[in-house]
Amino acid sequence: MDINFQKGHPLEIAGDCLIVGLLEEEEFTSGALESANMALDGSLRQLFDEDELVGKSGTSTLIHTLGKVTPKRILFTGLGKRDSVTEKVIKDVVSAAIRKARGIGLTKVVIAIDTFCSEDLSPQRVCELSTLATLNGLYRYEDHISEKSEKTIKEVILNTAAPAESSVISYTAIAEAINLARDLANAPPNFMTPSILSDIAEREAKANGIEFERLDEDKMRELGMGSLLGVAQGSNEPAHLIILKYIGDKDNIDDSIALVGKGITFDSGGLSLKPPAGMITMKGDMAGGAAVIGALIAISKLALNINVYGIIAATENMPGGKAQRPGDVVTAMNGTTIEVINTDAEGRLVLADALCYANHLGVNKIVDVATLTGAIRTALGDQIIGAFGNNAEFTKEVIAAGAREGERLWELPADESFSKHFKSDVADIKNVGGAAGGATIGAMIIGLFAEDTPWVHLDIAAVSRTNSINGDDPKGATGTPVKTLVSLCKSISECR
Ligand code: BES
Ligand code: ZN
Ligand code: ZN
């Protein structure tokens, strides 16, 4: 699918469908509407008077132009009242419109960019949002479906006079990274083992000028990663610690950030086995790792002036004959001993060693991304990422990075008052606390392994997949929080 630009009057641009943003207004006043109305012999005024062209959010009206103007159809998409038009509204309505165009079998769509702009929303920004809406909104995962969908949008034309080419190139890289992260997390678990994940990471890294390394189980044993290996030992699939290294700031080679992802390619719960209903989505328990891989690739394509490590702890969590038992004690790379009370709380166990490794590399900041707890959904619902950190300023920076790109993050507490809940009688800590504050307990256990490095933990368990279309997220894996990670690295790189 190509995204191209064309200047000129929207009614003079050839295409199957012109997508127009329409505000909800009392009067038939808008300039854009009036010129289209004249070209269409007053029919728009008539539709308006008959309440069929209302601009209410969630509504749309498709009209056939029958040769009176160049576009074959016009799809008016309701934006709602002027004050309520946010970036999210634009992205959601453009996604819906373009999906609708695909649904009726159209192939060439023109977006009238100016009709979505306002004082706060520049044509460049609307082009960026349209790029995400198009590439992410049209995403579908069909790798294992014999008869692929035939309906495909081939070309999207952004109708604007504004110089937005570089914005669109950047956001194409971001949108493609999101789709890659979705592909990884949507893949069935027999097609996305730790080895396959690591092979894909290697291929993508090499294609994008990113250094790649993988630590096998022997190497991890040598480094003392007993916590990660404890999770891996119940599976026949070998674990990998995947390491990506993007060097974008050679002059400050000692300054770097680590993005660390939970990469459980299937979480059965281990011997603390999950019930079937809770297990079915657990192929997506590597969504954090997938987002880290996607982010590194986008960061490299954007050539950001920053050094970034991507570290993904990839393993299955299975209840095999060699599986770790509830009650086992494991030792992480930094010497901390952990009593494994519940083998289903495996994310913190693999991240413990991944964070130790980040510190071993000497990074200055760490962000970990994990589908860590069911508790985060209870706390924040299914639209918000839980954020936890050990450094107020850095946590704020990460939350602000998300806000700039429409990914909502909310900070929850992670302070010493929770520590008593994961004290163990037989080891330094245990891997679960009580039922209360589950997301915080998980975060705090991970935080122990960040030690003094500024660190933020993002719990994406509730937002990593959606059961139904949600804006530019089709059903399935969302690719969250690629945008936050890229935006964070961009802002750090611009502060130099
Ligand atoms: N992968 C799960 C968390 C999860 C739940 C992700 C639902 C996505 C959707 C994690 O490994 C897990 O099982 N966590 C346990 C922790 C508990 C045993 C302390 C949980 O949340 O129940
Ligand atoms: Zn689990
Ligand atoms: Zn898990």
Q: C-alpha distances in angstroms, 73 versus 52, 61, 69, 107, 109?
A: 16, 10, 9, 12, 10
Tokens of 269: 């719960």
* Amino acid 434: pLDDT: 83
- Nearest-atom index, ligand 1, CA of 441: 19
Q: How far is the CA of 1 from the centre of ligand 1 (A)?
A: 37
Intra-chain end-to-end CA distance of the chain, in Å: 36
Burial of residue 244 (CB within 10 Å: 0-12, 13-18, 19+) is: buried
Predicted confidence (pLDDT) per residue in 146-201, tens digit: 999 999 999 999 999 999 999 999 999 999 999 999 999 999 999 999 999 999 99
Predicted confidence (pLDDT) per residue in 307-361, tens digit: 999 999 999 999 999 999 999 999 999 999 999 999 999 999 999 999 999 999 9
Share of the chain above pLDDT 90, in %: 97
Catalytic pick from 125, 245, 262, 348? 348
Instruction: Note the ligand closest to the C-alpha atom of 315.
Output: 3
Res. 33 pLDDT band, cuts 50 70 90: confident
Res. 80 pLDDT band, cuts 50 70 90: very high
250 is catalytic: no
Mean pLDDT across the stretch 207-229? 98
Evaluate if residue 31 carries a pLDDT over 70: no
Predicted confidence (pLDDT) per residue in 41-63, tens digit: 999 999 999 999 999 999 999 99
Instruction: Note the ligand closest to the C-alpha atom of 477.
Output: 1
* Amino acid 444: pLDDT: 98
Residues at CB less than 6 angstroms from ligand 1: 267, 285, 342, 344-347, 371-375, 432, 438, 461
Mean pLDDT for all residues in the chain: 97
108 is catalytic: no
- Nearest-atom index, ligand 1, CA of 372: 3
CA–CA gap between residue 119 and residue 348 (Å, rounded): 45
Q: How far is the CA of 267 from the centre of ligand 3 (A)?
A: 5
Q: How far is the CA of 346 from the centre of ligand 2 (A)?
A: 5
| Closest residue by CA, ligand 1 atom 17 | 345
* Amino acid 208: pLDDT: 98
Predicted confidence (pLDDT) per residue in 127-152, tens digit: 999 999 999 999 999 999 999 999 99
CA–CA gap between residue 388 and residue 372 (Å, rounded): 12
Catalytic pick from 274, 377, 396, 404? 274
**Residues measured by CB to lie within 5 Å of ligand 3, the ion:** 264, 267, 285, 347
- Nearest-atom index, ligand 1, CA of 433: 19
Burial of residue 276 (CB within 10 Å: 0-12, 13-18, 19+) is: exposed
Predicted confidence (pLDDT) per residue in 430-485, tens digit: 999 988 999 999 999 999 999 999 999 999 999 999 999 999 999 999 999 999 99
Instruction: Note the ligand closest to the C-alpha atom of 439.
Output: 1
pTM above 0.75, yes or no: yes
* Amino acid 321: pLDDT: 98
Q: How far is the CA of 487 from the centre of ligand 1 (A)?
A: 27
- Nearest-atom index, ligand 1, CA of 284: 8
Q: How far is the CA of 372 from the centre of ligand 1 (A)?
A: 6
Res. 34 pLDDT band, cuts 50 70 90: confident
Out of 262, 342, 343, 373, give the residue to mutate to test ligand 1, the one with the largest number of ligand atoms within 8 Å of its CB: 373
Q: How far is the CA of 167 from the centre of ligand 1 (A)?
A: 38
Mean pLDDT across the stretch 251-270? 98
